[in-house]
Structure 1
Amino acid sequence: MLIHKQDFKVKGLSYTIRSAVHEDANRLSELRVEIDGETENMDRESGEAFIDPSGFEDIIKSDSKHSKSLFLVVEVEGRIVGFSRCVGNDLKRTRHKVEFGVCVLKNYWGYGMGRNLLKETINWADSNEIKKINLSVLESNKNAIELYKSVGFEVEGLLKNDKLLSDGRYYNTLLMARIAV
């Protein structure tokens, strides 16, 4: 599905949130690898589960047409610095919910990009009969957890020893969801 672009100015930085388009595929392929290498909050290490530009073209095309999926990007001065994605399906038992994921380059943390991507996603979900947005987050990612709680997400479960990080320790993952009332 597609949304109308939205412009934001936070702490002196102007940026745009818009639907991903075909021409974004090369940058998204590069950006995903870059972001995965900046933090251990993601599911992958840099280069793992690599998606090449043609793979992103396919994802963008599919998400643009599917009423239960949404792929958004954040642009600063014409450069994509983050993105979010919601994926749903048409199965009768689960078409009321989507899975959400978000990532933003570390240099752009603190400008409300994650929050605004999330708000745009919630607005889209509320307008499209999506009753539940699911996500997973490392229990140690306190900033993300607080963000999700601030827009109505609640913890639904805990996956113990779910991720093995570079320090050789296992970390828990929280399952969170926002259920529309």
Structure 2
Amino acid sequence: MRYAKTVLLAGGVELLVRNAVASDARALRDIMQRTHAETDYLLSYPDEQGADDEREARSLAETERSDNGVELVAVVDGRIVGSAGVSAVRSRRKVAHRARFGISILKEHWGMGIGRALMDASVDCARRAGYAQLELEVVAGNERAVSLYRRVGFEEYGRNPRGYRSAAAGYQELVYMRLEL
């Protein structure tokens, strides 16, 4: 699925949201390492990012050709500062109407509107792919993210009190959210 849109953020900062392409593999892996080290709220640790540059490039090329999945990057001043992705929950027909969503942004760029721009782009892509529902999991204590998801229209549909275990904070509650498209 193809996507590209330029958004003007507060302060006149220009943001390009576009497909991640194979040549972004190294930069995207570096960003994932940094974002996953900067917050304890993402669902993996930096050392759990297993793909090497070549495998990441192949995965990005495959996703770019996909009709029902997308990996997006947020670019400011020619630099990738965040990413978001939409993918099928499963390929089985009974659940093919459902998609998963994930997002990460470098901490130095939080609060600029990049999260909202990536969310809007991801929702648009999910609709264009024909999904009926977009889903995510978020740590209950991540109030900024929960607030953003609610503003976009996501609704809570359940909780798992021990769904997340942080090395630093122990068990934390996961909130399951969905958006009807």
Q: Does the alignment pair 1:9 with 2:8?
A: yes
Q: Structure 1 unaligned runs (5+)?
A: none
Counterpart residue number, 1:113: 114
Q: Deviations over 1:38-73 (max 9, x none)?
A: 000101122223322122212212211221101100
- Are the aligned partners of 1:70 and 1:86 in contact in 2 as well (CA < 8 Å)? yes
C-alpha separation in 2, matches of 1:107 and 1:43: 20
Structure 1 length as normaliser, TM-score? 0.93
Structure 1 pair 168/149, CA: closer, same or farther in 2 (3 Å)? closer
Q: Does the alignment pair 1:58 with 2:45?
A: no
- Are the aligned partners of 2:69 and 2:129 in contact in 1 as well (CA < 8 Å)? no
Higher percent of residues as helix: 2
Tell me the secondary structure at the aligned position of residue 93 of structure 1. helix
Counterpart residue number, 1:172: 173
User: Which stretch shows the higher mean deviation, 159-168 or 21-30?
Assistant: 159-168
Structure 2 length as normaliser, TM-score? 0.93
- Are the aligned partners of 2:17 and 2:73 in contact in 1 as well (CA < 8 Å)? yes
Q: Report how far residue 144 of structure 1 moved.
A: 0.6
C-alpha separation in 2, matches of 1:61 and 1:91: 23
Q: Does the alignment pair 1:97 with 2:98?
A: yes
User: Which stretch shows the higher mean deviation, 107-116 or 159-168?
Assistant: 159-168
C-alpha separation in 1, matches of 2:87 and 2:127: 15
C-alpha separation in 2, matches of 1:52 and 1:86: 21
Q: Deviations over 1:147-171 (max 9, x none)?
A: 1111110111111112222434310
- Are the aligned partners of 2:68 and 2:130 in contact in 1 as well (CA < 8 Å)? no
Tell me the secondary structure at the aligned position of residue 159 of structure 2. strand
Moved over 3 A (4+): none
Counterpart residue number, 1:37: 37
Counterpart residue number, 2:132: 131
C-alpha separation in 1, matches of 2:60 and 2:109: 23
Amino acid corresponding to residue 132 of structure 1 in structure 2: Q
C-alpha separation in 2, matches of 1:109 and 1:140: 17
Provide the aligned C-alpha RMSD in A: 1.3
C-alpha separation in 2, matches of 1:160 and 1:36: 22
- Are the aligned partners of 2:86 and 2:126 in contact in 1 as well (CA < 8 Å)? no
Q: Structure 2 unaligned runs (5+)?
A: none
User: Which stretch shows the higher mean deviation, 85-94 or 142-151?
Assistant: 85-94
Tell me the secondary structure at the aligned position of residue 137 of structure 1. strand
C-alpha separation in 2, matches of 1:84 and 1:157: 23
Q: Report how far residue 29 of structure 1 moved.
A: 1.1
Identity of aligned residues (%): 25
Count of residues paired in the alignment? 179
Tell me the secondary structure at the aligned position of residue 44 of structure 2. coil
